[in-house]
Each structure stands twice: as structure tokens, then as C-alpha cells.
Structure 1
Amino acid sequence: MQKFNRPTSYASQPEERWKKWETQQPKAQNAIWDTAPGYDLIPEVDLPMFHSLFLDGTHSSPPVTPLYGYMWVRHCGLGTKWVNIALSLPTCYGWEWRYINGGLYVAFLVVRDPNERKEREVRFREAIVPYLEDFQGIWERNKGILNNVYAHLKEFDPQKATALDFWRHNWELDEAYQKMWEIHFFGMQTSYSAWILLEEECKKRFGMNDQAPEFQDMMRGFENEVYKIDKELWLLSKQAIEMGLGDIFKQYSPEEVLSKLLDSAKGKEWKERFEGFLHQYGWRMVRMNDLVDPYWLEKPSIPLKIIKDHIVGGIADRKDYPLDEKRKELTQRREAAVKNLLERVPPQDKEWFSSLIKLAQAASVYSEEHDLYCELTCQALMRRGYLAIGNRLAQAGAIDRPEDVFMLNPWEIESSILIPSHNDQRWITRRRRAEWEGWVERFIKEGEWRPPVYTDRPEGLPEAVEKDLLPSMDPICVKIIIGELPTPKEGIKADIIGLCGSPGVAEGPARVIINYEELDQLKPGEILVCPGTNPAWTPAFNIAGGVIADRGGTLSHTAIIGREYGLPVVVNTFTACQKIRTGQRIKLDATNGAVYLLD
């Protein structure tokens, strides 16, 4: 990774401006305003207001760029407040976000007055009725709204755009991101709240939480748009073998495959099919945690690698798609689990319970499908737009390269976009890039080095969780972003404990992987140990014997995908990546949230 220790590292002959900067460095440093104005984490200011801000390791590992950090802390926070006000969520007004060291930290605005909670609960039960009755219909309409927003963004043509068009597009990207978060949270807060309400009822009536196998069986065996795309990739790999093209994928890298396919009629035919797939599904980021990675249309070798892995790993040789096979079994178990639960519910409560189960089940489907329609697609278009802006700024010398636009926030972009030759932003981008690359490099070497919480609570993290996280009863924070703190079950003496994301037991060698780019190191049957997963990691669930993640709750991507693939999964271990080494033999008792180091 290239180092950026000081601004002069970009040129062998520093400009006069930078010579002056060197002599006045302390003054110049003070003149550089914070990365995310109004949203930078300043403990002296923020802790008296919020008491505790928790690291969202799910969405900021590895450390995120300043542009993405600014967009997230601003719009994600606004999205939660918007939706929590509209729905009158009983226990939480919304979230307040801060950015520091590439980390996204969140404070939960807890409703602490019991009387106000009761008043809000009445309004919430009214507001959630349409979602109980027709969650899927509402989601389909919202997908239509998002698709219209995205269609407009796609109309932007950087080659024909004027300076004013670029200025306008900067704010269109900002507005699209805000709209995405509003829609995003309406679906999440309603379905996830139903999950928590159902869990609370199950605890009171049956002594069963959402880590119990019986509860989790009710929540799996579902189809969704993301799985359909995964199946399309499998079908393309299968077609490649049937058309006699398997050896091309085996012999050449994903970057070389497309050119080699042009040597035959069958290859050209398959390439046309693949391009049709990209036209439909190519606006998809590899991961949803930043803008620095390419999307599929930009870099077709990304989905081609998945196809290659299917062919090389033998998955393409299977008669049926693996997830379809597993889903038949899981569907039967789901139907049986729901039936068994409802048989234990008094007749007068069955209708309410049935509606609650149905909406809670929607959480599993929505959690994956919204990733596609919200973050992955929106951020692909944001990357395209901001890189076009970055190219304009770089050509005029306002920044050193197009990617440096990710070191700026939209207001700084606005200040340069109209006449970039007269507004040099390199004094900002060079320092921020040096800082960001330092954070990432440290994360790669050390794992998670940022504190899990900034708090003024005397007893630290446990007290912060007890007083500032759990009282919010915010379904997203409790079930995804932060997750509940794991506690060992009675009689369990494990080396590492976590939460049951998907029940089951597995034993085998561990494979510690910090970044998704290293997934090709994973061998069949190995137990994947990672900070957490997102859609970029999904192919690994076809290979791994089990999964352990340092972060996440029972509705995290890791847990949901594990349940759909029938893999044992433990989440929120916090320290597994540090304590386990690749090749070490381990036992994963996911049902009890336990990990044992066998050697």
C-alpha cells in the first residue's frame, strides 16, 4: 500500500505552495477543518450529550473513507430519525452518528420516560398495521420508487455534462442517498420490530429467545431476489460447462476469460448471455461498506470469478442448485416450527401471533433483498457519479487522481466543481488519504484496533450496553449493528463465546479471513473465521463447514445466510479473529454459541 506521509510525496520537485506549507505546517494543519463537519466524534462534546457511542464494526470494517463516512453519519442518522418519528417507535427517537478513525460510531436516542413510551406504543401499533397486512406490497412500491431514482442517476452522461451538470449531479447523488435511507429504514424498523416483539412474546410464554433452534427454524427457507441472482450465476457456470467452455475458465484468470471466449462461436454466445446478465444485475457493488471497490458492470471479472469458482469447485456439476435443495428441507422445518408454536398459543391470540410471525419472517427476506436495492445499487451509482466528478477535478489539478474525491465531502466537492482549476483541494485530500490508508493498514495488521465504545459510564462497555444500548430496544442495533453481548450458558466452558446465528455443530480446521479478497484461500469444510460478512462473502457459504464472526447479531448477514445454507454460525464473538489462527483445529457448537480450540 502506497504511503502518503506528507503532501510533497506526490512530486519529485515540490511546488512553491507546498514549500510554504512545510514551513507553516502547524498553522496549516489547524486550518484543515474536520472530515465530517458537525459529525466528527469529539468525546469532550459528544459524551455529555449521549454518554455512549458504539462502534458499528459491521459497516465500518475495514475503516471507511471520509466521503462515505460523511454520507453515512449524516444520512443514516437522518433516516432513522425520520422513520422513528413517522412510526413513533416506542423506545428510541433515532440514532446519532459520529465518525473517527474511519469508524462509524452510533448513539441511540433512548426514550426514557415510561409514560412517553406508553403513548408512543399506542401510536406505533397503529402505524405498523399496514405493514402487518401488506409488507410485501409496500416493499414492491418502494422498490419502484428507488428504481425511478436510479434511472434518473443513470441518465447522467459525464462526457456531455457541463460544469453546472456536474454541480447538480453532486447533489442528486446526495438526495438519492437520503431517499434510499428513508425507504431502507421503513422496511427494517417494521419487520425487525416484529421480530423483537415475537421474541419477547416467546420469552414470556415459552422461555424461548431468537437463538433457540425452534425460533430460528421459523425464520428460514425463503427465496429472495439476491438468491435468484446467485442462482443465475450458477446457471451461467453450468451453461459454460455444457457448451464446452469449462477449460477456459479453469485455465485463465477471470480478467482473461472474456477475451478468450471470443475465439469460438460458443464462447461468443455465452459471452452475450453474460452481458445480458450484467445489463440486468451489473449495478451492484461488491460490498456495501464504502465506495472504493468497483461494481460488477465496472469490473466484470468480479462475477466471473464466482462463475469460475463454481466450475473449479464442482458446484456447477451439480444437477440442482445447492440452495434449492437445502430450501426444500428448510421450508418443511419452517412450516412445522410455525405450526408447533401456534398450537401452543391460546385461540384468542392466534391471529395476532400469525401476523407477527409473518412480518418477523419478512425481516429475513428483506434484510438481504434491501441490501441489493438499497446500498449495493445506490452506492454503485454513487461510485460512478463521484468518480466522474473526481476525474473532472483531477484533470484540472484540484486533486491528484479521480479516487481522491473519496477524501472529500459533498460541500468540499461543491466548492471545486464549477471552476476546479481555481480551487486546489490537494491540501485536504493528501492529508486525509495518508490518514485513511494508515487506518486501513493498521486494521489489516492488527484486526479491530478502534475502541468498541466511547463512553463516560464509569464501568465502561458493560454499563454502556446496559444503560445506553439495550434500553433503546432498537431492533436494528440489537440484532445487527451492535448485537447483544454474549453470555455463556450454564455448564458451557468454551474458549470463545458468541451468539447463535444459525444452530448446528461443526469441527475442522479454521481459516481466518479479514478481507473478502482473500476468500479464494478458503477450502471446503474449513470453518471461516472473520470480522463479519456482507453479500460479497456469500459464495463462501457454499464452501465453509461453519462460520464464526466477531460482529453481528441474529439478523446480521452472517446469521441469515448461515440459516439459509444450513450452516452452523456463531456471531458477536468480538475476539475470534485474534484468538484463532488459520489451520488450528476447532469445534463450533453454534447452538450454544460456543467455540472450542482443540489444538
Structure 2
Amino acid sequence: MTAAPRTAFPSPYEQPAPSGAAGWEELYPYHLLFQPWRRAADEERFWFCDSQHWPTVVKPFEAAVVELVFKSLGQFNTRHFVVPSAYGIAARIHQGYVYLSPVEVPQSRVPARVPQFLQRAGYYYANWDRLLENWKGKVRGVIGELESISFTEPPEVQPYEEIEAGVGLDAADALLGGYDRLLALCHRAWQYHFEFLNLGYAAYLDFFHFCKQRFPGIPDQGVAAMVTGAEMELFRPDDELRKLAKLAVALGADRALTAPDPGEHTLTAVGREPRGRDWLDAWDDARDPWFNFTSGNGLYSGDRYWRDTPSLPLGYIRDYILRLRRGENIDRPLAELLAERERITGEYTALLDPPERADFAAKLDLARQVYPYVENHNFHIEHWAMGVFWRKSRELSALLHRAGFWPGANDMFHLTRDEVRAALFDYASGWAIGVEPAGPGRWPAEVERRRRIVAALARQRPEPALNKPPADVTEPFSVMLWGITGERIRSWLDAPGHGGDLTGMAASPGVVEGTARVIGSPGELDLVAEGDILVAPVTAPSWAPVFGRIRATVTDIGGVMSHAAIVCREYRLPAVTGTGSASTRIRTGQRIRVDGTSGTVTLLD
């Protein structure tokens, strides 16, 4: 007998901790938890799990990034640009996963915010290119400062030259100051991240609403198609891989690059080829900055970066060379996208009365101008800046590991940001005084306890949402970015074990049939075979090189403006996002049909 669908999700205050995870609350800052004293307010809100950005359990130190992300997002909506209808997004960590709830402006306050928004956002729109060029300089400045931070053992004694110079500071001052700078620069990077982002979404949303009003029945994809086909920096890493593959074939250096198990030894083998040095020079040129790219999304300490793990880009280059040998075209279909874009734009323009065409063109031009930032910021912040941040964090963790503070080189991430500073001061103080620090007696056992808790949290999938859902979801960013709609929520509430086909967001058009390959993490991407349909909780922009092997994409979360949707449209792959449960209901090897035009996934087996 099938259980009846639920009408509400559980309250976070009534969910027992997973087995083995007792005390998990101690791992996170108090303000990110569902606390007893704010139960009434928290239970009035609807919270959804942000598995698009945090699909796995967040370690204690990684929670600092959660803090900085939503503080920075909120400040631009609420304090900088005075967005009329939206403040920020409230965030909680519950049983290791991130839950969000958009904060709407009371209707009575909206009219007073409108003129401020028009003035402030209007200035950015009118000066977009100049301000954006300035933004790139600011971000690269932050990256340069992050690179300059160093965490190394202090000397036995300060150099005599510092005595003569009257410096009056010690090596511990640099360690403690370096840690404070590390967090401050991460905070600054996330502020820059949101400086333009919500304005980019707002301009697209304005164009979207105009189209929906003037062209009743226009699909969401029809609107998106009119801004698709832009040259984006987010795609440059993949572009560089394809260029390197073509160059290897042209130089005759492709034999060494197609050997199994690529890695550092592959580069050595290329260097032995007659023109291998020319290829290695091109590799070095591409590596900085375009290989500051992670296989994940940049929000986790364990993400692997192309720059530090050459087997990742070399593996993709190997795939491209093999496809070139088969006579395949490996280029992104930019010309086709642009032709389709202009065709669709012309057809909708023709439906308007002449007086409306100027307004349509102005809104479209602005949407096209700002649209690339919606994806490009990912490369500069999530990938490049955060790549340096995590590298320096691992450097600090390794320093304290060598001092006996924890058993593994990367175990620092089981401490909160405030605990790390206390541990670092303990280390610095012991060095300065000439005594053993207390940390080696305090932290190893505690890190092991927390490791077990994190593992226990990871064994239980999170609820997709918490509390009673609204009758419908109207908040535009929840719909467009996360794919949270009334229909999606109702599918989440269906009884466990509910069978049948899946529905989601029609994210990228086209219909294909094929064999599913369910992927739970970037580490499993090597399992994706030619012609597979990729099914995952969420995809990352850096998975683009794999898209040459697959026929379509299906994800659990994401709207028409999610990264998965945008990347699939740019690569002309059918996609259905926001299905809620595809990665758990579909099994690898199962035959499925993906209809990215209607947003349905049919189980053929």
C-alpha cells in the first residue's frame, strides 16, 4: 500500500540527529543554527536545501565561507543597491547541510526603495563596462594579496638584521596577521562577487518579465535563447584545453598525450617529442590563469584544482585528441548559437508594435551586456580566488600538522575559523615563550571525534526542504536560480518510493534517449562514457569538457538560470534541472528519455 503524500516537511527542531552524529551542532557557529530561542520565527519560514552550491556535508572551517557568502549577498540587496522587493537570504546549517530562506521586503517599504534602486543600479548599468574593468583589477588585487601570504615555521631566533633595523616584531606576528588577512581577503572577494551579480540577474529578470507580458506563452527557454551565445571567460579553461589538443595534433606531440593515466610524467614525455617544447610553452601560457579551475565549485576545502592536479586537464586533453582522431568537431557551437539567437530575436521583434520595439531592444541590449557576468564571476571568485584561499589554508593546516596539532595534513578543516585562530595563537605563543603548545594534547582526539560526526552526517541524505511550504513560490531568484517552484515542492512531498517519470525545469531544449550515468561527485567523472546521459545532484561549470561525451544532463536542483542550464544551452545539450530526486531514483545503466523542451525525464526500463 502506497503512503499518502506529505503536506509539509519536518521541522528542523523535531528531527533527531543521524546515528553517530550526536553533538553535531558544536561544529558550527551559533548564528548558523536553528536555535531554540528563535524557533517560532524559524518555523514560520520555508527553508530549502541549497544542494546546488553545497551538495555534501560542510566541514566546520568551510562554514566560514557560508557565512561570508550570505553576508555579502545580503549587503548589496539591502544596503548598497536597495533592491525594492528583496533583502538578503537567511542561511542555516542543519545536520551538516545548508538551508536557505529568501527575506522579502515588507510591501509597505517597497515604494520608498524604488527610487534609490533606480538611481544606484541605474548608475552601474550606465557605466557597466568601466566599472566591470575596475572590478577585474580589484579582484586580481585580492588574488595577488592572497598569493603573498605564507605560513611557514618561525626561525629559532629572529635574524640579527631585524635587531639592527629595530623591527620590533616577530615571526608569530606574521603568522597571526597572515591568518587574519586570509579571512579578510576571502570576505573581500565575496563582496566583489556580489557587487555585480544580482544586478545581472535583475536586468535579465526585467527582460524576462517584459517578454512574458508581451508574448503570452513564450517558454522560459525562448527568453534565454535571446541572450545565449556570449563569449564568456568561464568557458576559457575548456577553450584552452581544445586549443592544446589541436596544437598537439599539429605538432605531432599527441602520442605522448594519449597514453593512459595522465599526470606529471605525461608532461615529461611530451618534452621528449621533437616539438614537445613548443607544446609545453603553450601549456604554461594556458595554465596561468586559466587552470585556476576546480573540478568542484570552489566552496569546499577538498576541491581539486587543475593548476595543482595536472592529471585533470591532461585527461580532458586526451579525450579531445581522441575525438579529433575520429574526425569529430570539438568546438563549442558558437556560430550556431548566435544564428539561432538572432532568428528567435527577429521573430519576437516582428510580433511587437513599432512603439514597443525600442523598449524591447533596450531591455535586450542591457540583458546581453550584463549576462556574461552571471557566469564569468565564477572563474574569478569561486575558482581562482577561492583556489588560492584553499591552497593557503592547506598550507596553514600542514604547518600545524607538522607541529603535532592533528594527525592529517588537512585536518584543520574540522575546526571552526575561531578555533583555528586559537590553535595558531597557541602555536605562536609556545614558540615565543619557549614551551610546548597545548594543541597537540587537545586537538588530535577531538578532530577524530568530529571526523566521525561528519561521516555520520554524510551517510544520511538531507531533507530537500523544511517546514510548511508556501502555496506557491513567487520569489524570482528562487525560481530562476534554484528551480524552486510549487510543482517542484509538491514532487518533493510525494511519499517515499514514489515511482513514475520525473518532471523538472525545461533548462535546455532537445529530446534524446540513452543510458544514464549517475554521478555523485567530480571524482566519478572518469566513469562517464561516450553517449551517456549525465545524471547528478548538480553539475559544476568545470564539468564542461565532459559534455563532449554525453547526450544530455539531468540534475536534482537548479532553475533555467542555474550553471547547469546555462552551460548546457551553450553546448547545445538537452537538459532537465530541478527534478528533486533524479540522482536517487535513476540508476546507472537505466535507459531514459530526456526532453529538455518540456522538462520531463521518462524512465524507459
Using structure 1 for the length normalisation, give the TM-score: 0.85
TM-fit CA distance, 1:186: 2.6
1:77 aligns with 2:77: no
Counterpart residue type for residue 71 of structure 1:
V
Alignment of 1:189-228 (within 5 A): 189-208=198-217, 211-212=220-221, 214-228=222-236
Partner of 2:444: 426
Partner of 1:479: 480
How many angstroms apart in 2 are the aligned matches of 1:251 and 1:100? Answer: 45
TM-fit CA distance, 1:110: 1.2
TM-fit CA distance, 1:220: 1.0
How many angstroms apart in 2 are the aligned matches of 1:487 and 1:430? Answer: 39
CA shift in 2, pair 1:479/1:427, >3 Å: farther
Are the equivalent residues in 2 in contact too, given 1:55–1:482 (CA < 8 A)? no
Are the equivalent residues in 2 in contact too, given 1:486–1:573 (CA < 8 A)? no
How many angstroms apart in 2 are the aligned matches of 1:340 and 1:482? Answer: 28
Partner of 1:277: 286
Alignment of 1:254-333 (within 5 A): 254-255=262-263, 256-288=265-297, 289-312=299-322, 314-315=323-324, 321-323=330-332, 326-333=333-340
Q: Percent identity?
A: 26
Are the equivalent residues in 1 in contact too, given 2:85–2:105 (CA < 8 A)? yes
How many angstroms apart in 2 are the aligned matches of 1:432 and 1:397? Answer: 17
Q: CA offsets, 1:549-572, max 9 Å, x none? A: 111011111100111111111100
Partner of 2:533: 527
TM-fit CA distance, 1:487: 6.7
TM-fit CA distance, 1:380: 0.7
Partner of 1:56: 50
Question: Helix, strand or coil: the match of 2:553?
Answer: strand
TM-fit CA distance, 1:545: 0.9
Question: Helix, strand or coil: the match of 1:57?
Answer: coil
Are the equivalent residues in 2 in contact too, given 1:90–1:124 (CA < 8 A)? yes
Partner of 2:128: 135
Structure 1: state its 5+ residue gaps. 1-28, 444-448
Counterpart residue type for residue 520 of structure 1:
D
CA shift in 2, pair 1:344/1:182, >3 Å: farther
TM-fit CA distance, 1:319: 8.0
CA shift in 2, pair 1:137/1:229, >3 Å: farther
How many angstroms apart in 2 are the aligned matches of 1:295 and 1:526? Answer: 25
- Work out which of the residue numbers 463, 478, 503 in structure 2 matches 1:497: 503
Question: What is the aligned length?
Answer: 544
How many angstroms apart in 1 are the aligned matches of 2:550 and 2:595? Answer: 15
More displaced, 197-206 or 84-93? Answer: 197-206
Alignment of 1:38-117 (within 5 A): 38-42=31-35, 45-46=38-39, 48-49=41-42, 51-72=45-66, 74-85=67-78, 86-113=80-107, 115-117=108-110
TM-fit CA distance, 1:390: 0.6
Partner of 1:232: 240
CA shift in 2, pair 1:95/1:261, >3 Å: same
CA shift in 2, pair 1:254/1:191, >3 Å: same
Counterpart residue type for residue 524 of structure 1:
E
How many angstroms apart in 2 are the aligned matches of 1:65 and 1:308? Answer: 34
Q: CA offsets, 1:228-279, max 9 Å, x none? A: 2211111111222223232222223112312333434433442333233223
1:380 aligns with 2:390: no
More displaced, 256-265 or 234-243? Answer: 256-265
Question: Helix, strand or coil: the match of 2:558?
Answer: coil
Question: Helix, strand or coil: the match of 1:116?
Answer: helix
How many angstroms apart in 1 are the aligned matches of 2:196 and 2:324? Answer: 34
**Root mean square deviation of aligned Cα:** 2.6
Are the equivalent residues in 2 in contact too, given 1:285–1:379 (CA < 8 A)? no
Q: CA offsets, 1:492-525, max 9 Å, x none? A: x981100111111111222211212222222222
CA shift in 2, pair 1:167/1:406, >3 Å: same
How many angstroms apart in 1 are the aligned matches of 2:25 and 2:448? Answer: 11
- Work out which of the residue numbers 177, 197, 200 in structure 2 matches 1:188: 197
TM-fit CA distance, 1:169: 2.0
Are the equivalent residues in 2 in contact too, given 1:482–1:553 (CA < 8 A)? yes
TM-fit CA distance, 1:393: 1.3
Question: Helix, strand or coil: the match of 2:601?
Answer: strand
Partner of 2:463: 451
TM-fit CA distance, 1:224: 1.0
How many angstroms apart in 2 are the aligned matches of 1:31 and 1:62? Answer: 15
Counterpart residue type for residue 126 of structure 2:
E
Structure 2: state its 5+ residue gaps. 1-21, 155-170, 428-436, 490-498
How many angstroms apart in 1 are the aligned matches of 2:205 and 2:219? Answer: 9
